[in-house]
Amino acid sequence: MLLILTEVSHIRYITTLTASCDDLAGPRLRDSCLIVGHESHHWGFAILGLFVVLMTFGAAVGKSRPASYALLAAGLIALAITLLKDLPDTTRTGQVGVAFADATAHKGTGFWLELIGSVLAIAAGAFALVRRPQIVRAADLPAVVEPVEPEPEPEPEPPEEALAEKEGDEAAAAAAERSEAERERQREERVRAREKRRRERPPRERERKRRAEAEKAEEEAEPEPEAASKPAKEVDTEETEALSLEDDETY
C-alpha cells in the first residue's frame, strides 16, 4: 500500500529563500518545482504495489514459496528504483537552480513512502522464506528402516538342585496336609467315643441301682448269720468297687 501511495505523493520539491518556487518561476519552469510520483514512475509503482499485495497474501495465507520469492523480487525492484532513480533526482534543482542561485531541492513524502515500502516488501519475503521450511519430496527422503524387535530369550532351565528343593517343598506341604487331616480325624473319633460313653452311662447306673435294690431285698427276705453275712457283704462291697472302677475307667 505504501508503494501505491507513492504515486500520488511528492517525490521532490524545490524552495527558494525569498518566495516559493511557483511564485518566482515562470510558466515554463513551474512544472519543475514539484514532482509527483506518477510523473516520475508513470504509474509503475501502483502496479508494483498491487503485485506486492497479492504476493504477500499468497505467502502469508497460502504458504506459497513461489509467492515469497516473487514478493522478495518485487521489493528489490522497488528499492532499486528508489535508490538509483529517485534519490539522485531529490538533489537536482534543474532549470530552477539555473534561474535562482538560492534554489534548494528537498525529498518529498513520496520518496520516503517508496523507500519504506520497498524495504518492508524485502523483509516480508525473506521472513516468509525463512519461516516456511522447504518441501522435501518423498523420493528424496532417506529410507526409514523400521527397528527390528529382538526375539525374547528363552528362560533358562532350573538346575537340578532347584528342582529337588521344589519337590521337597511340595512333599513337605503334602505331608503337612495329611498330618493335619489325620489329626482332624482322630479328634472327630475322640468326640464320637465321648458321645457314645455319655449315652451308655445312664443304663449302667440303672443296672447298678437295680442290683443294689435286689441285694437289699434278698438280705431282708433271708437273714443269715452274722458271720456268714459279713463275707457276703464284703463280696458285695468288692463287686461294687469293681463296678465303680470299671465306670471310672470308662469315663
Q: Does 104 share its domain with 195?
A: no
State the pLDDT at residue 155.
Answer: 63
* Residue 37 clears pLDDT 60, i.e. is over it: yes
> For residue 107, what are the β-bridge partners?
12
Q: Of 133, 162, 179, at which residue does a domain stop?
A: 133
* Residue 87 clears pLDDT 70, i.e. is over it: yes
Q: Does 21 share its domain with 104?
A: yes
Can you read off the three cell numbers belonging to residue 67?
A: 509467492
Q: Does 246 share its domain with 129?
A: no
Domain membership of residue 149 (yes or no) is no
Domain membership of residue 178 (yes or no) is no
Q: Does 36 share its domain with 102?
A: yes
Q: Does 40 share its domain with 115?
A: yes
* Residue 99 clears pLDDT 80, i.e. is over it: no
Q: Does 128 share its domain with 195?
A: no
CA 229 to chain centre: 111
Distances (CA, A) of 136 to 63, 72, 145: 15, 22, 19
* Residue 227 clears pLDDT 50, i.e. is over it: no
Mean pLDDT of 136-149: 55
Q: What is the pLDDT of residues 51-69, one digit of tens each?
A: 999 999 988 888 888 999 9
The domain in which residue 195 lies consists of 188-223+230-251
Domain membership of residue 61 (yes or no) is yes
Q: Does 192 share its domain with 122?
A: no
Domain membership of residue 24 (yes or no) is yes
Distances (CA, A) of 141 to 104, 135, 144, 145, 147: 63, 11, 8, 12, 17
Q: Does 8 share its domain with 80?
A: yes
Domain membership of residue 246 (yes or no) is yes
Give ∠ CA 52-56-57 in degrees, rounded to 5.
120
* Residue 230 clears pLDDT 50, i.e. is over it: no
State the pLDDT at residue 74.
Answer: 92
What percentage of the chain exceeds 70 in pLDDT?
63
Can you read off the three cell numbers belonging to residue 101?
A: 542561485
Domain membership of residue 140 (yes or no) is no
Q: Does 109 share its domain with 206?
A: no
Q: Of 94, 109, 133, at which residue does a domain stop?
A: 133
Contact 190, 243 (CB under 8 A): no
* Residue 3 clears pLDDT 90, i.e. is over it: no
Task: Map the chain to HEC letters.
Answer: CHHHHHCCCEEEEEECCCCEHHHHCCCCCHHHCEEEHHHHHCCHHHHHHHHHHHHHHHHHCCCCHHHHHHHHHHHHHHHHHHHHHHHHHCCCCHHHHHHCCCCEEEECHHHHHHHHHHHHHHHHHHHHHHHCCCCCCHHHCCCCCCCCCCCCCCCCCCCHHHHHHHHHHHHHHHHHHHHHHHHHHHHHHHHHHHHHHHHHHHHHHHHHHHHHHHHHHHHHHCCCCHHHHHHHHHHHHHHHHHHHHHHHHHC
**Domain tally, the chain:** 2
Q: What is the pLDDT of residues 144-190, one digit of tens each?
A: 555 666 666 666 655 666 667 777 788 888 888 888 888 888 888 88
**Cα–Cα distance measured from residue 81 to residue 114, given in angstroms and rounded to the nearest whole number:** 9
Q: Does 116 share its domain with 198?
A: no
Q: Does 10 share its domain with 102?
A: yes
State the pLDDT at residue 11.
Answer: 85
Starting at the edge strand found earlier in the chain, the sheet holding 10-15 runs: 34-36, 10-15, 104-107
What percentage of the chain exceeds 90 in pLDDT?
11
State the pLDDT at residue 79.
Answer: 92
Q: Of 114, 133, 152, at which residue does a domain stop?
A: 133
- Please, which pLDDT band fits residue 126 given cuts at 50, 70 and 90? very high
> For residue 13, what are the β-bridge partners?
34, 106
State the pLDDT at residue 250.
Answer: 52
Domain membership of residue 156 (yes or no) is no
Q: Does 217 share its domain with 116?
A: no
Contact 125, 36 (CB under 8 A): no
**Cα–Cα distance measured from residue 45 to residue 41, given in angstroms and rounded to the nearest whole number:** 7
